[in-house]
Amino acid sequence: MADNLSEIIDIFSSTTDKREMRQLFEDVFTDAEREDIAKRWYIFKELYKGTPQRRIASDMEVSLCKITRGSKTLKKDDSIIRRVLSDMYDETHI
């Protein structure tokens, strides 16, 4: 299975055209999986911006457990998500 994951990572990372990437997402993931990915990204963004976990859970109608997982990810020293969000939102990177 690790080889399959490596292959799909290689395919995603080599795709630079947004239309092709969208098509790849549509081909690989179900509607529900794409929606889950979008929700998870929204949760990461809101946590990074300081939105309280309970408000996110209420707004998104998801469990606090999902929010807590995102919070733990952002707290990791090697969090790529935190670095990406920092690049997107922090004034020092504008």
Per-domain boundaries in the chain: 2-93
The pair of structure tokens assigned to 17 is 């055209």
Q: What is the pTM of this model?
A: 0.85
Q: Do 8 and 28 touch, CB atoms closer than 8 A?
A: yes
Q: Which residues contact 12 (CB under 8 A, 6 or more apart)?
A: 21, 24
Q: What is the pLDDT of residues 20-78, one digit of tens each?
A: 999 999 999 999 999 999 999 999 999 999 999 999 999 999 999 999 999 999 999 99
Question: Does the pLDDT of residue 94 top 50, yes or no?
Answer: no
Class of domain 2-93 as given by CATH = mainly alpha
Look at residue 92 in the predicted model and tell me its pLDDT. 54
Q: Where are the alpha helices (DSSP H) in the chain?
A: 2-14, 18-28, 31-48, 53-60, 64-75, 80-89
